[in-house]
A and B are shown apart, each in its own frame.
Chain A
């Protein structure tokens, strides 16, 4: 039997030369007369090892990484295809690597194991079991299961998913929609991308179940244009799902219909905000809508709409397969289930870590992340994307839990953890927060549109020591105005990173200018 060799095909692996390695392996195997089967799997999310090449053996899958194109010949010279572990890049059995072994993977159970566009692989590893169950349940029963799970939105706002679905279910309208927010714009986050690139059928299954739950027959995945690989893989998976009646007018012979389409955004961070996203899907400028009415009542094209993040919808197949209680058994307090945390920035072992809520942040950064990549002392950590606080050392023991982060005036958001070493200039980071808002504001409300521009100017004056005390007071006031007066999270949360720098790194903001 041909040896199966796995070369990942997610963006990160590709960005480090996975395609060239795959081609090299094919060429070298032919040259040596070896029979191999090359599988383009997803990524395990152990990015410091990417491209991580795996060989299937009777002792499990043996990994080699990070591999470059130049290593291919020497891998064969070391007989890696027979599972020989003598090559210096060998990392042993992949599933025994502590980084992976110590996770609690529910959503990412298949990631990196399967070929993302293989329906056979998906079904072999429990795929579509949640949908099979859901087809025999009423909408209310599905919603009840989601309520039992305690699942809250994984996009950042953390609203209970079951309650949102109940609202849509209870709103009488023959036309409803499921919209997947795949506009993962927060720096330091890539969990949505990994779901779409490594296990796209899971998202399709989750959205189909959502459709069955609330009575929606049409779904849209609103995908950011910065994710070309995800776009391609999602479209392949969608076509396969249609061909095999997992989507369409008669899902698995049930007589129930659900249609799904990917729509590309066009480079606007604000379109990750749900109402702005809906405007964009309607073909308009992505201007934020005032709420109420909630999208659950007046959403896409004025119809009741479930808007959920990729991770929220991706958690649904597990919940409908194993039961809401099985999901709720993970976690702490009101944060139930697991949270895929993304370790990024200046980190030695960057990647995806899925764990039940309740793990201390520093344990993640040290035990999993291994500290900074530069080897220099860690200075600050931004959690929750560009609108999240910069946490100083005194806050690194905060638990991964929505309420714990709120109590520290910080944001867990979508679980992105961006680490900075001591060379970071926190004054520069505070300025960037305002600059980013200036660049990305939709412009509908004044505090965000004008406040961010003034914010950059005031920070520049403080950093140039121009009437620094007066400008400091002005910046405090401006931040409060933005928090209280903005229409959505873009304007009301941009001050969070700025205020965290003012509070914890004041000297760097006052004197930190490096020109």
Chain B
């Protein structure tokens, strides 16, 4: 095990300890870990289990239940397209198709250069100005195909570096 990894383990242990004594702490702990690493690696699960005195099965069960938690790394930008009814009424199905075509990936996939991960989301609460998407913590409304392309251009700056 490399030095970096063991440092990470200590760091993650500290993150767990920061939250684990709250009542019902598992979700806050998982959020904190995903915030730190970008996802929840499988080899963190035994660490959480040990610190929180839970079984690995319990933790795996929770991670896999919630759509927000991921066991795999994502691209540098997570792009979520709202697929809920209000956005359907304003053309999200076409936007979704446009996104898949231009990025060349399906939902839950990452562009080969590692820049964009495309995910579905069911309602961003921006229902009067759809279609809506979310990139990181920023939500965008009235997203036409053109606006989508322009937004992807800003993500693509980092795309090109990887070819």
Tell me, in angstroms, the Cα distance from A16 to B128 when the chains sit together.
12
Tell me, in angstroms, the Cα distance from A283 to B24 when the chains sit together.
4
Report if B159 contacts A (CB, 8 A). no
User: Is the Cβ of B127 less than 8 Å from the Cβ of A345?
Assistant: yes
User: Is the Cβ of A266 less than 8 Å from the Cβ of B68?
Assistant: yes
Report if B99 contacts A (CB, 8 A). no
Question: In the complex, how many residues of chain B place their beta carbon closer than 8 angstroms to a beta carbon of chain A?
Answer: 41
Among B3-11, B85-93, B110-118, the stretch that binds chain A is B85-93
Select the residue from B61, B68, B90 with max chain A CB neighbours within 10 A: B90
- A residues within 8 A CB of B137? 228
Among A33-41, A181-189, A236-244, A458-466, the stretch that binds chain B is A181-189
What is the interface residue range for chain A against chain B? 35 or more
- B residues within 8 A CB of A283? 24-27, 62
- B residues within 8 A CB of A193? 125
7 A-B pairs with C-beta separation under 8 A: A12-B141, A15-B141, A187-B86, A188-B86, A268-B65, A344-B86, A429-B88
Tell me, in angstroms, the Cα distance from A11 to B25 when the chains sit together.
28
Report if B98 contacts A (CB, 8 A). no
Taking beta carbons and an 8 Å cutoff, which residues of A are in contact with B?
A: 11-12, 14-16, 47-48, 50, 184-190, 193, 225-229, 263-269, 280-286, 301, 342-347, 350-351, 373, 382, 386, 416, 418-421, 424, 429, 432, 436, 439-440, 442
User: Is the Cβ of B122 less than 8 Å from the Cβ of A266?
Assistant: no
User: Is the Cβ of A350 less than 8 Å from the Cβ of B23?
Assistant: no
User: Is the Cβ of A386 less than 8 Å from the Cβ of B31?
Assistant: no
Rounded to whole Å, the gap between the CB of B94 and the closest CB of chain A is 11
Tell me, in angstroms, the Cα distance from A418 to B86 when the chains sit together.
6
User: Is the Cβ of A190 less than 8 Å from the Cβ of B125?
Assistant: yes
Report if B97 contacts A (CB, 8 A). no
Report if B123 contacts A (CB, 8 A). yes
- B residues within 8 A CB of A345? 85-86, 88-90, 127-128, 130
User: Is the Cβ of A373 less than 8 Å from the Cβ of B123?
Assistant: no
Report if B129 contacts A (CB, 8 A). yes
User: Is the Cβ of A189 less than 8 Å from the Cβ of B127?
Assistant: yes
Tell me, in angstroms, the Cα distance from A419 to B89 when the chains sit together.
7
Tell me, in angstroms, the Cα distance from A442 to B84 when the chains sit together.
18
User: Is the Cβ of B86 less than 8 Å from the Cβ of A225?
Assistant: no
User: Is the Cβ of A268 less than 8 Å from the Cβ of B66?
Assistant: yes
Known contacts A229-B139, A382-B85: A284-B125 contact under CB 8 Å: no
Which residue of B23, B26, B86, B130 is within 8 Å of A284 (Cβ)?
A: B26
- A residues within 8 A CB of B31? 225, 264, 266
Apart from A265-B68, A382-B85, what are 9 other A-B pairs with CB-CB below 8 Å?
Answer: A48-B129, A190-B128, A193-B125, A225-B31, A225-B68, A228-B137, A284-B58, A386-B84, A436-B122
- A residues within 8 A CB of B85? 187-188, 345, 382, 386, 418, 429, 432
**How would residues 60 to 96 of chain B score, 1 for a CB under 8 Å from any chain A CB and 0 otherwise?**
0110011111000000000000001111111000000
Which residue of B124, B140, B141 is within 8 Å of A226 (Cβ)?
A: B124
User: Is the Cβ of B90 less than 8 Å from the Cβ of A266?
Assistant: no
User: Is the Cβ of A373 less than 8 Å from the Cβ of B24?
Assistant: no
Closest A residue, CB atoms, query B22: A261
Closest A residue, CB atoms, query B52: A283
Report if B38 contacts A (CB, 8 A). no
Select the residue from A47, A266, A269, A424 with max chain B CB neighbours within 10 A: A266
Rounded to whole Å, the gap between the CB of A216 and the closest CB of chain B is 14
Closest A residue, CB atoms, query B34: A266
Tell me, in angstroms, the Cα distance from A395 to B68 when the chains sit together.
37
- B residues within 8 A CB of A419? 89
- A residues within 8 A CB of B26? 283-284
Tell me, in angstroms, the Cα distance from A48 to B127 when the chains sit together.
11
User: Is the Cβ of A47 less than 8 Å from the Cβ of B128?
Assistant: yes
Tell me, in angstroms, the Cα distance from A351 to B128 when the chains sit together.
6
Tell me, in angstroms, the Cα distance from A347 to B126 when the chains sit together.
13
User: Is the Cβ of B127 less than 8 Å from the Cβ of A418?
Assistant: yes
- A residues within 8 A CB of B13? none
Closest A residue, CB atoms, query B120: A439
Tell me, in angstroms, the Cα distance from A283 to B63 when the chains sit together.
11
User: Is the Cβ of B67 less than 8 Å from the Cβ of A344?
Assistant: no
- B residues within 8 A CB of A12? 126, 128-129, 141
Report if B103 contacts A (CB, 8 A). no
Closest B residue, CB atoms, query A343: B128
- A residues within 8 A CB of B28? 263-264
- A residues within 8 A CB of B88? 345, 420, 424, 429, 432
- A residues within 8 A CB of B86? 187-188, 344-345, 416, 418
Tell me, in angstroms, the Cα distance from A439 to B119 when the chains sit together.
13
Tell me, in angstroms, the Cα distance from A439 to B31 when the chains sit together.
22
Tell me, in angstroms, the Cα distance from A200 to B65 when the chains sit together.
30
Tell me, in angstroms, the Cα distance from A190 to B137 when the chains sit together.
17
- A residues within 8 A CB of B121? 226, 267
User: Is the Cβ of B68 less than 8 Å from the Cβ of A187?
Assistant: no
User: Is the Cβ of B126 less than 8 Å from the Cβ of A266?
Assistant: no
Top 8 closest pairs, chain A to chain B, by CB: A350-B128, A283-B26, A187-B84, A345-B89, A267-B68, A266-B66, A344-B127, A15-B141
- A residues within 8 A CB of B152? none
Tell me, in angstroms, the Cα distance from A37 to B138 when the chains sit together.
25
Tell me, in angstroms, the Cα distance from A267 to B126 when the chains sit together.
16
Report if B45 contacts A (CB, 8 A). no
Rounded to whole Å, the gap between the CB of A223 and the closest CB of chain B is 11
Report if B156 contacts A (CB, 8 A). no
